[in-house]
Structure 1
Amino acid sequence: MRKKLILNSFSGTTLYLINVVVAFIMSPVLIRALGNRDYGLWELVMSVIGYMGLLDLGIGPALIRFVSVADGKQDRSDLQQTISTAFAFFIVAGGLALVLFAALGYYPRIITGNDTKDIANLSTVFLLFGLDASIMFPLQVFTATLMGLQRHYLINSARGILTIVRALLTFYLLQRYAGNGLIVLALLEPIFCLIQFAFFSAAIVCDNSIPRMTFRAVTWRKLHELFTFGAKSATMLVASRLQNQSVPLIIGNVIGLGQIVYFVMPNRLIDYAKGVSQALGLPLIPYFGASIGRNDRDELLKSWFSTTLALQVVSLAMPVAIFFYGESFLAIWIGQEYASAGRGVMHFLLLGLLADSLAINASRILVAQGIHGKNAVIWLVLSILSIPVGIGGASAWGVTGVVMGTTMVMVVGNIVTVLLACSAMKISLQIYFKETLMHLVLPLLLLFIVMQAFTLLYPVKSYPNLLAQVLLAGCIYVTAIWCFTLDDGMKAKLLERIRSIMPQGV
């Protein structure tokens, strides 16, 4: 099982790196092809897609957990009922999403304001996104089933290849059909979603260890179980959407579509930083779920501590690196205009990133045990409060003011999540930080000092300069991790793992 976890995490990290490289290359291309206004509209529509995800009512996250537990118990009948019932539900959800997007196509000003009156083919864009959503909802059953069976590597490999192909095709079509960028991007959404549907459904059908989905296995009892568990996840999902997807909507309607880009670019940099630990940590819920299925609480606590520390090695280094190099990177990548306008936004986002890193694995342990309902309600309340705060901030301080509301939610919400996780695992907050953060204080302090010295002595002017400084500081950080964080047993296991994957004779 541990080998599968490592393979899943490695493939997830590889997919993340592919996404980063593709976004790094394509983001300037998209901004130049669409312009600030149309690019802002694109991001706003993507936010609406995020809100449409609420139609799954938390069944998607619940499905991963139910599949992993059923697999841990080797209960094929329960597994068949789970995936069959979820598939029937998502067909209905997909149809409803299609209808809602079609309605938005007739009345786009409901969410876009008056800036879109001169944008051509806007109704077609919404209709294509509706078609995409109608495919995406049933697709969740196949991907969630594979995730629940800890086969993330299959999903990650396929999506990595499709990401590269899609980027190449997007670049070609934007050049070939200049001036029609929104239609090009919207058309590619359902096409590539359909390709994924075909591939992952085939993977499920061709695997004899996975029972066949059938409408005869659909039961109201299983739907009730999924919904009861998923209601907690749905609450958390609503909170997440309000927190993350509302910002472009607030900016677009209060300030203007052309201002959204000044939030999106710094936020994308923060998302890249989050993506590393998220890619590594994605397989952990089914991993924890398997331990719960075996009723091994000691193993669960030990795994939680070790995986949290491993994730924080990466996640806590990210705020330090972005603090020193984020603005310089944006200036080189997109342009000084975007770097300067996004400075305040990025600093507030960094506070949220730091809070998120401290609680990097807390919500996963709650979800895996099915006791995340209270945490979800608290996040929902905080996220709702962030909307009027964001609107008021937008009126007073522009884009930066909107982000202040989001940051407030992240900081307070993550503190609450850690406290609830510690309570669930019957440990004190002091023990939690002793087993995680305290092991990294010296390496992080050294990383901060090294990066401070580099940026003062050698101001960043180019990608090679930036890359050299980050790599050198990273090497010093990793060395400090080896010297100050890892004990002899952990070092021995790591060396053994390295030797096992190296070719014979090396």
Structure 2
Amino acid sequence: MKNNIKTATIISYITLIAGNVISIVYTPIMLTTLGRGEYGLFTLVNTIISYIYLLDMGLGNAVIRYNSKYMAENNEQGLKKINGMFLVLYCIIAVLGIIIGILIYFNLGNIFSNGLNITEIQQIKLMFIVALVNLAFAFPLNVFSGIIMANERFIFTKVLALIRAVLNPIIMVSVLALGQRALGMLIASTIFNILLGIANIIYCFKTLKIKMKFLGFDEGILAEIFRYSFFIFLSAIAYRIYWSTDQFILGMFVGAAPIAIYSIGSQFNGYFISFSNVISNMFLPKLTKLATEENKKELMSILVKISRIQFFIASFILIGFILVGKQFILIWAGEGYELSYYIAILLMVPQIFSIIQSLFATMLEAMSKHRVKALIYLGVAIFNLVLSLFLVQILGSIGCALGTAIGMTINSLLNNWYYKFKLNLDMAYYWKNIINLAWPATLCLVLGYMLIRFINPINYIGILLFAIIFSIAYLLIFWILALNKYEKSLIKSVFMKFKSKLN
């Protein structure tokens, strides 16, 4: 099992890197072929569908939890009943999703009459139908992916994720090369997703030998499941408000092209989050144990240790993007996307606080205190929505990004207030250790600006040359001025492993 987890983790990292690199290569092709308007509509359809997907209500986590529970108890009858119940539940949710989708379909013209023209509304309606079919299949298929995770068949799951990350963009580019556009991409994506879902079904019945019984609903278990899922559901709603509503608002008030511009900026924020959080998973088991034991002194020690590493990685990415992100976007996406750079900066700067404190969420779950965080998240997300609705009419795309940035900042402040005054964590000690890293990061930013004036990176080769020199300078400055013995030993171990691989 240890090798299973280790191999799955390696595959996860490969998937993350491959997925992001392929996305960086694939997005300009899609932008060039579709144009800003159609790419914006494509993004808008996916945004609307993501809201309907909230009907999942956290049941995906419940499938894993209750399958694991009954397997641990060797309760085969319970497994058959619970999986049958989950499949029926998801089929009901799929039907409900289709009904809601049909209602939305007939009102798309009214919703987006101020931002989209008649031709764009007709396009979005066609794409929405295909995306709705994809969603209807996705709900019941969730049961089978959850069962596989509960059985700890991580390698199969991660290999499938890697296949999705690599093949999906290749299929999309092939569709565009054949002369199809956004509608063709959605049809191909739907077929591909269904095929992957069928692979999960075959694996469950042929390899895992699962069985299902459809004997109605156990009201007690159903109530327990929904109690467990409720706060996960609240967090999911808040997440969607934060990261999907801005595109929806732009479609209502501004138009299709600004959605594309905003989406590019938001995409770079997504890269920032994914690369910055790669290291977190290695510390999850120890953090959970410390939180459960309520050893707050040692808990704070490990939180500081992890947060400093997160800051080291996140500030490197953020500063690098601040320095050459605009040039990269202009080369990568083309003229007319300058605003995407400023949108990305507005989203990324406050995001760094969430990144360095990413394991606090795990701590709260271990302490059974995650409800308060979910409520804070949802409350601030609603404030962000109202603020963005106001600012978009004054500042357009930048207004949406600014509203989200203000919301994220308030969310971080409220969470830190909760950590200090309700959980009695020593946040002064925590921030003192983090702030010690801020001035070397500022020095790197200043030196980076000087380096840009010398190199003047206006093409991919210039940006690559800057990245190499800046990376070396960044590591040297932090090594001399900021890193402690533990952090230096981590970097040394990475280099030693890399060296041994080369030999």
TM bucket (normalised to shorter chain) is 0.7 to 0.9
User: Could you say which residue in structure 1 is the equivalent of 2:473?
Assistant: 476
User: Could you say which residue in structure 2 is the equivalent of 1:157?
Assistant: 159
User: Could you say which residue in structure 2 is the equivalent of 1:458?
Assistant: 455
CA drift of 1:122 comes to 4.4
Give the length in aligned residue pairs. Answer: 497
Q: Which amino acid is 1:453 matched to?
A: M
Separation in 2 of the partners of 1:106 and 1:57? 25
CA drift of 1:55 comes to 0.6
User: Could you say which residue in structure 2 is the equivalent of 1:224?
Assistant: 223
Percent identity, aligned pairs only?
16
Matched, 1:274 2:276: no
Residue in structure 1 matching 2:350, options 349, 352, 355: 352
Separation in 1 of the partners of 2:144 and 2:294? 30
Separation in 1 of the partners of 2:497 and 2:464? 30
User: Could you say which residue in structure 1 is the equivalent of 2:49?
Assistant: 49
Task: Report which stretch shifted further, 379-388 or 301-310.
Answer: 301-310
Matched, 1:58 2:58: yes
Task: Report which stretch shifted further, 441-450 or 226-235.
Answer: 441-450
Instruction: Report SS of the residue matched to 1:337.
Output: coil
Matched, 1:185 2:185: yes
* Cα distance change on mapping 1:322 and 1:497 into 2, 3 Å: closer
CA drift of 1:175 comes to 2.2
User: Could you say which residue in structure 2 is the equivalent of 1:27?
Assistant: 27
User: Could you say which residue in structure 2 is the equivalent of 1:392?
Assistant: 390
User: Could you say which residue in structure 2 is the equivalent of 1:409?
Assistant: 407
* Cα distance change on mapping 1:82 and 1:122 into 2, 3 Å: same
User: Could you say which residue in structure 1 is the equivalent of 2:312?
Assistant: 313
CA drift of 1:427 comes to 2.0
Separation in 1 of the partners of 2:119 and 2:251? 15
Q: Which amino acid is 1:229 matched to?
A: Y
Cα RMSD (Å): 3.6
User: Could you say which residue in structure 2 is the equivalent of 1:118?
Assistant: 119
CA drift of 1:7 comes to 4.7
Deviation per residue, 1:215-260 (Å, 9 max, x gap): 4596433332232122112111111111211101111111112221
CA drift of 1:323 comes to 1.3
Instruction: Report SS of the residue matched to 1:99.
Output: helix
* Cα distance change on mapping 1:428 and 1:150 into 2, 3 Å: farther
CA drift of 1:56 comes to 1.5
User: Could you say which residue in structure 1 is the equivalent of 2:247?
Assistant: 248
Deviation per residue, 1:324-349 (Å, 9 max, x gap): 1211111110123212x334423322
Q: Which amino acid is 1:336 matched to?
A: E
* Cα distance change on mapping 1:323 and 1:144 into 2, 3 Å: farther
Separation in 1 of the partners of 2:299 and 2:151? 18
User: Could you say which residue in structure 2 is the equivalent of 1:90?
Assistant: 90
Matches within 5 A, 1:260-299: 260-281=259-280, 287=285, 291=289, 296-298=293-295
Separation in 1 of the partners of 2:219 and 2:324? 53
TM-score scaled to structure 1, two decimals?
Answer: 0.84
CA drift of 1:116 comes to 4.9
Task: Report which stretch shifted further, 453-462 or 362-371.
Answer: 362-371
CA drift of 1:159 comes to 2.0
CA drift of 1:42 comes to 0.9
CA drift of 1:413 comes to 0.7
Contact 1:362 1:417 (8 Å CA) reproduced: no
Instruction: Report SS of the residue matched to 2:119.
Output: coil
Separation in 1 of the partners of 2:82 and 2:488? 41
Separation in 1 of the partners of 2:279 and 2:207? 26
TM-score scaled to structure 2, two decimals?
Answer: 0.85
Matched, 1:428 2:426: yes
* Cα distance change on mapping 1:188 and 1:302 into 2, 3 Å: farther
Contact 1:91 1:137 (8 Å CA) reproduced: yes
Matches within 5 A, 1:128-139: 128-139=130-141
CA drift of 1:445 comes to 3.9
Instruction: Report SS of the residue matched to 1:241.
Output: helix
Deviation per residue, 1:138-163 (Å, 9 max, x gap): 33334445556665554333222233
Separation in 1 of the partners of 2:420 and 2:75? 35
Task: Report which stretch shifted further, 237-246 or 465-474.
Answer: 465-474
Deviation per residue, 1:466-487 (Å, 9 max, x gap): 1222233223334555566665
CA drift of 1:407 comes to 0.8
Q: Which amino acid is 1:390 matched to?
A: S
Separation in 1 of the partners of 2:343 and 2:373? 27
Deviation per residue, 1:277-314 (Å, 9 max, x gap): 345446876x479748x955558766655544443332
User: Could you say which residue in structure 1 is the equivalent of 2:379?
Assistant: 381
Structure 1, unmatched stretches of 5+, are none
Structure 2, unmatched stretches of 5+, are none
Contact 1:64 1:147 (8 Å CA) reproduced: yes
Contact 1:139 1:197 (8 Å CA) reproduced: yes
Separation in 1 of the partners of 2:418 and 2:207? 39
Task: Report which stretch shifted further, 342-351 or 168-177.
Answer: 342-351
Instruction: Report SS of the residue matched to 2:35.
Output: helix
CA drift of 1:446 comes to 4.7
Matched, 1:259 2:258: yes
Q: Which amino acid is 1:135 matched to?
A: F
Task: Report which stretch shifted further, 244-253 or 7-16.
Answer: 7-16
Separation in 1 of the partners of 2:487 and 2:220? 46
Separation in 2 of the partners of 1:245 and 1:445? 32
Deviation per residue, 1:31-70 (Å, 9 max, x gap): 22222222111111111122112112233345556667x4
Contact 1:277 1:315 (8 Å CA) reproduced: yes
Q: Which amino acid is 1:316 matched to?
A: S
CA drift of 1:412 comes to 0.9
Separation in 1 of the partners of 2:419 and 2:63? 22
Deviation per residue, 1:61-106 (Å, 9 max, x gap): 45556667x49x9444499376665444323222222232233334
Contact 1:356 1:411 (8 Å CA) reproduced: no
